[in-house]
Amino acid sequence: MAGGWSKFGERYTRPTGALELMQDLGVAMDGEHATLLLGGGNPGSIPDVQAIFKRRLAEIAASDESFERLVGRYAHPNGERRFRRLLAELLAGEYGWKLTADNIVLTAGSQAGFFLLFNLLAGEFSDGSRRRILLPITPEYIGYTDVGLEEDHFVAQLPDIRELPDNFFKYRVNFDDLTVTDDIAALCISRPTNPTGNVITDTELGKLDRMAREAGVPLIVDSAYGLPFPRIIFTEATPLWNDNVILCMSLSKLGLPGVRTGIIIAREEIIVALTRMTAVLSLAVGSVGPVLLEKFLASGEIISMSQKLITPFYRRKALAACELLQAELDGIPYKLHTPEGAFFLWLWLPGLPIRSAELYERLKDSGVLVISGHHFFPGVTESWRHRDECLRISYAQDDDIVKKGIGILAAEIKRSFAE
Ligand SMILES: Cc1ncc(COP(=O)(O)O)c(C=O)c1O
């Protein structure tokens, strides 16, 4: 372009972790390159779940009314009303939350929802002040990193590390150093956490909820992997919502990333603002996800499907991946974050002689895609060697791919330590 891009263009076309990850994923998925995909956040293929969705699609195709709503009409900019009403009823029934369809807005995937939400709440204000999103614990989701319209959209804190038996460890929120200063617009955590598989405890969550309320700012809880669906969570955890919590959900990890449906549950003022933003940005959000799923919300099958099919699928894969990695890395100074949810192993290699970004490149050359840990510290300005000693490894793909990938990964790690 002769005159270059606009500032907006420059901001959103520069290389980012999210772009690298999605491009790697796209190349691996096109089938032309023999790449073992242990990188992206693509969910696994669960045949029984896919069969349920396929049947439902056929049912919709056979019904004029459903088909019309699926593809033939713009929805309201806050998303399909029937889906929102059924979801509100389901959540009220399951958890006793006092909410209605008016507390729910749908977005074009939760990534797009975070773009709207983070820029609605934080950034530059008309009085010239600036507010930022506080991430009380990192590592945290790579996708938050570059969504801010301006630099420095996030301020974040490093975790405490609790060492556990058998080379496991768990990150905890460092409450001793956590303060919600006046320039904070909201707190945000993912639970289960992408990339670590951490599920911050009910006590930690309760404390963050109180701190946010006392500071008069919302607590955003990203439940893309959590409760009540898709329930990729292997520990006891109680979900939280109240009028100060903004709960973000997604249909992606049910096995439906292609429908691009995100869900934001919040007090009405926030829902109205997000609805207005959607109308400008995209008129309406897609109806395919909502119409596909509404029947399972009405029957509650979305919960039983998550409990009976999705949780056990990922629990088994988590265990298998841990065992493989533990066997392969015997003799190497490694630690694994205890896998409590989502579908990643977070591997920490204390004393790794090269940076994890270099290890990522070497692995890519060897045909294995993982993600370098350094991407997962949005808003952290302190230097910390730990950031460059970690990898995120997805175990969502088919068992033979995970097995082969972990074998190559372990060999490359051993080579790096031997240099
Ligand atoms: C923690 C977390 N939040 C949000 C998202 C975005 O999901 P989507 O835009 O597909 O709804 C992801 C995707 O991987 C994620 O891992």
Residue pLDDT, tens place only, 51-110: 999 999 999 999 999 999 999 999 999 999 999 999 999 999 999 999 999 999 999 999
For residue 154, the SS3 value is: strand
CA 403/CA 245 separation, integer angstroms: 40
| Residues 6 or more apart in contact with residue 11 via CB below 8 angstroms | 146, 149
What does the DSSP 8-state code read for residue 151? S
The residue to mutate among 105, 200, 233, 252, having the most atoms of ligand 1 within 8 angstroms of its beta carbon, is 252
Ligand 1 centroid to 249 CA: how many Å?
8
Q: Do the Cβ atoms of 106 and 80 come closer than 8 Å?
A: yes
Ligand 1 centroid to 110 CA: how many Å?
6
Q: What is the mean pLDDT of residues 137-154?
A: 93
If you take atom 13 of ligand 1, which residue's CA is the nearest one? 41
Q: Report pLDDT digits (tens) over 354-398.
A: 999 999 999 999 999 999 999 999 999 888 999 999 999 999 999
For residue 336, the SS3 value is: strand
Tell me the pLDDT band of 37, cut-offs 50, 70 and 90.
confident
If you take atom 3 of ligand 1, which residue's CA is the nearest one? 224
What does the DSSP 8-state code read for residue 343? T
Ligand 1 centroid to 386 CA: how many Å?
24
Ligand 1 centroid to 324 CA: how many Å?
27
* Across 96-105, 255-264, 342-351, 380-389, least confident range: 380-389
Q: Do the Cβ atoms of 341 and 192 come closer than 8 Å?
A: yes
Rg of the chain, C-alpha, whole Å = 21
pTM of the model: 0.96
Q: Which residue has 């995100």 as its token pair? A: 262
CA 143/CA 124 separation, integer angstroms: 21
Cross-strand partners of 162: 170
Ramachandran class of 16: left when φ > 0, alpha when ψ lies in -120 to 50, beta otherwise: beta
Tell me the pLDDT band of 36, cut-offs 50, 70 and 90.
confident
CA 199/CA 195 separation, integer angstroms: 11
The pLDDT of residue 35 is 78
* Across 27-36, 131-140, 380-389, least confident range: 27-36
What does the DSSP 8-state code read for residue 334? -
Tell me the pLDDT band of 29, cut-offs 50, 70 and 90.
low
Q: Flag whether pLDDT at 31 surpasses 80.
A: no
